[in-house]
Chains A and B, each alone.
Chain A
Amino acid sequence: MGLHILNSIYCNLLIFQLVPLATTIYNSFFENYRSGLTQIGPNFVGLQNYGTIISNGDLPTYFINTMIMWLMGFIPQILLSLLLGAWFTDPSLRLKCQTFFKTVIYLPNLIMASAFAMLFFTLFSDSGPINSMLMQMGVFKSAYQFMSHVWTVRTLVATMNCLMWFGNTTILLMAGMLGIDPSLFEAAQVDGATSTQIFYKITLPLLRPILIFVMITSLIGGLQMFDVPQILTNGTGDPMRSSMTLIMYLNKHLFSKNYGLAGALSVFLFVITGILSLIVFKFTNSDKVK
Chain B
Amino acid sequence: MDMAANTTIAGKQDTGASVHARRVVSYVVLILISFLCLFWFYVLFINATRSNSELSLGFSAVPSTHFVENWTNLKNGTLPILNGLINSLVIAFLTAGLATYFSAMTAYAIHAYDFKGKKFMFTFILMIMMIPTQVTVLGFLQLIGKMGLDNNPAALIVPAIASPAVFFYMKQYMDSTLPLSLVEAARIDGSGEFRTFNQIVVPLMKPAIAVQAIFSFVNSWNNYFTPALVLHDDTKKTLPILIAQLRSADWLKFDMGQVYMMIAFSIFPVIIVYLILSKHIVGGVTLGGVKG
A interface residues, Cβ below 8 angstroms from B: 1-4, 6-7, 10-11, 13-14, 16-24, 26-27, 80, 83-84, 87, 92-95, 99-108, 110-116, 118-123, 127, 129-130, 132-133, 135-136, 163, 167-168, 171-172, 174-180, 192, 194-195, 207, 210, 213, 220, 223-224, 226-227, 230-231, 234-235, 247, 250-251, 254-255, 259, 262-263, 266, 269-270, 273-274, 277-278, 280-281, 284, 287-288
User: Is B135 a contact of A14 with CB atoms below 8 Å?
Assistant: no
Residue of B nearest to A290 (CB): B291
Query: Given A10-B162, A231-B243, list of 14 further CB < 8 A pairs?
Result: A10-B106, A11-B162, A14-B124, A14-B164, A92-B15, A103-B275, A104-B38, A107-B38, A114-B224, A115-B266, A119-B263, A120-B40, A129-B43, A231-B224
Instruction: Answer yes or no: B130 CB below 8 A from chain A CBs.
Output: yes
Instruction: Answer yes or no: B56 CB below 8 A from chain A CBs.
Output: yes
User: Is B102 a contact of A234 with CB atoms below 8 Å?
Assistant: no
Inter-chain CA distance A175–B286, complex, in Å, is: 7
Instruction: Answer yes or no: B121 CB below 8 A from chain A CBs.
Output: yes
Question: What chain A residues lie within 8 Å of B225 (beta carbons)?
Answer: 226-227, 247, 251
Measured CB to CB, the closest approach of chain A to B252, in angstroms, equals 9
Instruction: Answer yes or no: B148 CB below 8 A from chain A CBs.
Output: no
Question: What chain A residues lie within 8 Å of B121 (beta carbons)?
Answer: 7, 11
User: Is B23 a contact of A95 with CB atoms below 8 Å?
Assistant: yes
Instruction: Answer yes or no: B108 CB below 8 A from chain A CBs.
Output: yes
Instruction: Answer yes or no: B34 CB below 8 A from chain A CBs.
Output: yes
Secondary structure at the B interface, as helix, strand, loop or mixed, is helix
Query: Pick the contact of B135 from A16, A111, A269 — CB < 8 Å?
Result: A269
Measured CB to CB, the closest approach of chain B to A228, in angstroms, equals 10
- Would you give the 0/1 interface string for B226-262, flagging 1 where the beta carbon is closer than 8 Å to chain A? 0001000000000110011011100000001001100
User: Is A114 a contact of B138 with CB atoms below 8 Å?
Assistant: no
User: Is A3 a contact of B193 with CB atoms below 8 Å?
Assistant: yes
Inter-chain CA distance A250–B140, complex, in Å, is: 14
Measured CB to CB, the closest approach of chain A to B196, in angstroms, equals 9
Closest 8 CB pairs of A and B: A20-B139, A179-B292, A176-B292, A13-B162, A23-B139, A277-B130, A16-B159, A132-B58
User: Is A274 a contact of B130 with CB atoms below 8 Å?
Assistant: yes
Instruction: Answer yes or no: B86 CB below 8 A from chain A CBs.
Output: no
User: Is B138 a contact of A107 with CB atoms below 8 Å?
Assistant: no
B interface residues, Cβ below 8 angstroms from A: 11, 15, 18-19, 22-23, 26-27, 29-30, 33-34, 36-38, 40, 43-44, 47, 56, 58-59, 102, 105-106, 108-109, 113, 115, 121, 124-126, 128, 130-143, 158-159, 161-162, 164, 193-194, 197, 218, 221-222, 224-225, 229, 239-240, 243-244, 246-248, 256, 259-260, 263, 266-267, 270-271, 274-275, 278-279, 281-282, 285-286, 289-292
User: Is A129 a contact of B278 with CB atoms below 8 Å?
Assistant: no
Measured CB to CB, the closest approach of chain B to A271, in angstroms, equals 9
User: Is A110 a contact of B274 with CB atoms below 8 Å?
Assistant: yes
Query: Pick the contact of B37 from A163, A230, A278 — CB < 8 Å?
Result: A163
Question: What chain B residues lie within 8 Å of A14 (beta carbons)?
Answer: 124-125, 128, 162, 164
User: Is B286 a contact of A250 with CB atoms below 8 Å?
Assistant: no
Question: What chain B residues lie within 8 Å of A234 (beta carbons)?
Answer: 247-248
Residue of B nearest to A80 (CB): B33
Query: Pick the contact of A107 from B29, B37, B259 — CB < 8 Å?
Result: B37
Query: Pick the contact of A192 from B11, B136, B158, B282 — CB < 8 Å?
Result: B11
Measured CB to CB, the closest approach of chain A to B116, in angstroms, equals 11
Inter-chain CA distance A254–B222, complex, in Å, is: 21
Question: What chain A residues lie within 8 Å of B132 (beta carbons)?
Answer: 220, 223-224, 269, 273
Question: What chain B residues lie within 8 Å of A255 (beta carbons)?
Answer: 229
Inter-chain CA distance A100–B278, complex, in Å, is: 10
